Amino acid sequence: MIPDGQTLSYDAAPAFSTPLRFFITAPLFGAAAGAALLAAPELLDSRWTPGALAVTHLVAVGFMLTVMLGALFQVLPVVAGAVIPRSGLVSTIVHLAMTIGALCLAWGLGSGSHGFLMPATVLIGGGLALFVVAAFLGLRRIPVAQATPRDLRIALLGFAVAVALGITLALALGGRLDLPLLTVLKLHIGWALLGGSGVLLAAASWVVVPMFQITPNYPAPLTRFWAMGTGAVLLVWSAAVYGELGSAEFALSAVLAALCVLFAVHTLKLQRQSRRSVPDMTMRAFQIGMGSFIAGLASVLVAQHSEHQVWPLLAGILILHGGFVSVIVGMLYKIIPFLAWLHLTQDVGKAPNMKKLQPDSPIRRHLALHAVALAALLVAASVGNAWLIRLAGLLVVAEFAFLLANIVKVLGNYRRAHAA
Amino acid sequence: MKKTVDARGLEPPQPFELVMDALADLPKGESLLLLLDRMPHPLFRILDRDGYKHESRIRDDGVVEIDILNP
C-alpha cells in the first residue's frame, strides 16, 4: 500500500488550457491591486477604507482564489484521481464567472457602488457552487481515508462557507439584511483564509512539498489530523465569535494560530531535510511564505489587544501578500513548466528539459522583486507615508507583470517545442 | 544480471527521463528493474503504447518496484 499522497494518476489530467486560463488572468488582478495603491495611497489609512476592501478582494479573489481553482482542476484528477465531469466546459464557465465577479466585487467595494455587489455575489457564488458540485461529483468514488482527497473536500466546504458569509455581507451592505457586520466579517475572514485557503494549502503541500522539494513526507499524524482538527476548532471559534464570548474567542484564535504555526514549522523543518544541495526558487518562495504566515499570525493576535490601526494592516499584508502569494507563486513555477513538459511528452513524444521551458534566472529575479515589494508594503503601511505607499504599489504592479511575463515565456517555449 | 534503475529521490520529470534513456539501451528479450517513490502513471501509458510488458508492486517501505521487459 502506498502511503497517503504518493499516488499520482496523470492519465486523468485535463487539457493544458483548463488550468492555464486561470493562471494567465490571475496576475492581472494582482497588478490591479498595486495600481490601486499607486493611484490612491490613502486607502491604507485603515483596513476599513473602501479602497482597502477592494485591494484585499483583488488579491484574495482575483489572484488567490482564481489560481487555487485553476490548480484544483489539475490537482483533483492528478493527485486525488477525481475526474471532474466536462472539465473543459466547467472551467470556462467558472473562470468567466470568477473573473467578472471579482471585477464587480472590487469595483463595488472600492467605489461604494453597492449595485455592483449583487452581480458580484451571483457570479462568484454561482461559479464556486458549480465548481464545488463538479468537484464533489468527481470525488464521490475516491476513498476519504487518503489525506489529500479528504482535506481537499474540507477546503471546498471552507470556501463554500466563506463565500456564503461574503454574500451575506454584501446583502447587509446593500441594505437588504440587518446583521452585526463586524461579527459576520470576522467569520468571513476566518473561513476564507483558514477554512478554505489554509486547508487547501496544507492539502496540496502534503503531496507537492515532498515531490518537488525532495523532502521526507510530512509526519502521518499531521496529515491525518491537521485539517480536520483545524476545521473543528474553526467551528468552535465561530460559535464563540457569534456568541460574542471575547475571552473564549481570543483563546480559540490562539489555538488556531498555533495550528497554523505547527504546519509552517513542519514545512520549514522538512525543507531543511531536502536532498537538494542548493535550495531552489520554490523552496525560497515557501520559506518567505511560511515566515510571513508566522509573523502575520503574531500580528493578528497583537491586533486583538491593540487599538492601533497598523496591526490589522500588517497582518493582512503578511498573510495575503507575504504568505499566500509567495507560496502560490512558488507552486506556479513548478506546476506550469511541469504541465508544459507533460503535455509535450504525451502529444509529441519528446519534451525539452524543464529548465529550458522555465529557466531559473527570471524566477530568481521575480522572487527578489516580490520580496522587495513585500518589505516596501510593510514599511509603507507602518509609516503611512503616501509616497512610500505609491512606491510599494508600483513594485506590486511590477512583480505581477513580471510573473505574467514569465508564464507567457513558458507558453512560448511550449508552443515552439510543440511546433518543432 | 537484470539492470536496476534507481530513480528515487529525484524531482519530476527526471525519473521519467532516466528510465526512457535506460529503455533506449534495453535489448530485446531483456528486462530492467525500476525503483521509484510513487506510481508512475504516465510512464505506464508510454510503456503500453511502445509494447513493453511491465509489472509493478509496492514494497512494505513504500518503494515502488517495476519490472519492465522488452519482448
User: Mean of the pLDDT values across residues A244-248?
Assistant: 90
Q: What is the pLDDT of residues A325-342, one digit of tens each?
A: 999 999 999 999 988 998
Contacts of B44 in chain A (CB under 8 A): 11
Higher pLDDT, A208 or A414: A414
What are the distances in angstroms from CA A122 to CA A106, A165, A189?
A: 14, 13, 19
Q: Looking at residue A76, what is its pLDDT?
A: 82
ipTM rounded to 2 decimals = 0.73
Distance CA A339, CA A204 (A): 16
CATH of the domain spanning A17-327, picked from 1.10.150.650, 3.10.520.10, 1.20.1560.10, 1.20.210.10: 1.20.210.10
Per-residue confidence at B13, pLDDT binned at 50, 70, 90? confident
Distance CA A31, CA A393 (A): 9
Please, how many CA atoms are within 13 Å of residue A399, restricted to the half-sphere of its CB? Answer: 27
* Angle formed at CA B24 by CA B20 and CA B30, multiple of 5 degrees: 105
Q: Is A212's CB within 8 Å of B11's CB?
A: yes
Q: Quick check: helix, strand or coil at residue B63?
A: coil
Q: Looking at the partner chain, which of B16, B39, B46 has a beta carbon nearest the beta carbon of A2? A: B39
Q: What is the pLDDT of residues A170-185, one digit of tens each?
A: 888 877 778 888 999 9
Nearest in space to A335 (alpha carbons), one of A55, A136, A68, A11 = A68
Chain Cα centroid distance, residue A78: 19
Q: How many CB pairs under 8 A join A and B?
A: 48
Residues of A near B (Cβ–Cβ under 8 Å) read 1-3, 6-11, 211-212, 214, 275, 338, 341-342, 345-346, 351, 354
Instruction: Looking at the complex, report in whole angstroms how far the Cα of residue A400 sits from the nearest Cα belonging to chain B.
Output: 27
Beta carbons of A109 and A57 less than 8 angstroms apart: yes
Contacts of A335 in chain B (CB under 8 A): none
Q: Looking at the partner chain, which of B9, B13, B62 has a beta carbon nearest the beta carbon of A6? A: B62
Q: Give yes or no for residue A260 having a pLDDT over 70.
A: yes
Q: Is B58's CB within 8 Å of A212's CB?
A: no
What values do phi and psi take at A103, rounded to 5? -65, -50
Distance CA A16, CA A107 (A): 31
Q: Looking at residue A145, what is its pLDDT?
A: 62
As given in the structure block, the three cell numbers for residue A222 are: 499531521
Q: Give yes or no for residue A9 having a pLDDT over 50.
A: no
Q: Report the residue of B8, B10, B11 to disrupt the A interface, i.e. the one with the largest count of A CBs within 10 Å.
A: B11
Whether a cis peptide bond, with omega within 30° of 0, leads into B13 is yes
Instruction: Looking at the complex, report in whole angstroms how far the Cα of residue B27 sits from the nearest Cα belonging to chain A.
Output: 21
> What is the 8-class DSSP label of residue A11?
G
Q: Give yes or no for residue A285 having a pLDDT over 50.
A: yes
- Structural domain containing residue B56: 3-69
Higher pLDDT, A78 or A420: A420
User: Mean of the pLDDT values across residues A218-237?
Assistant: 96
CB atoms within 10 A of CB A11: 14
- Minimum mean pLDDT range among A105-109, A113-117, A290-294, B64-68: A113-117
Question: Bridge partners of A324?
Answer: none
Q: Looking at residue B41, what is its pLDDT?
A: 66
pLDDT > 90 fraction of chain A, expressed in percent and rounded: 74
Nearest CA in chain A to B50: A349
User: Mean of the pLDDT values across residues A97-126?
Assistant: 95
Q: Looking at the partner chain, which of A11, A212, A338 has a beta carbon nearest the beta carbon of B45? A: A11
* Structural domain count, chain B: 1
Q: Is B11's CB within 8 Å of A341's CB?
A: no
CATH number, domain with residue B13 = 3.30.110.40
Q: What residues does each domain of chain A span?
A: 17-327
Q: Which residue in the block uniquely carries the three cell numbers 524543464?
A: A354
User: Mean of the pLDDT values across residues B38-66?
Assistant: 83
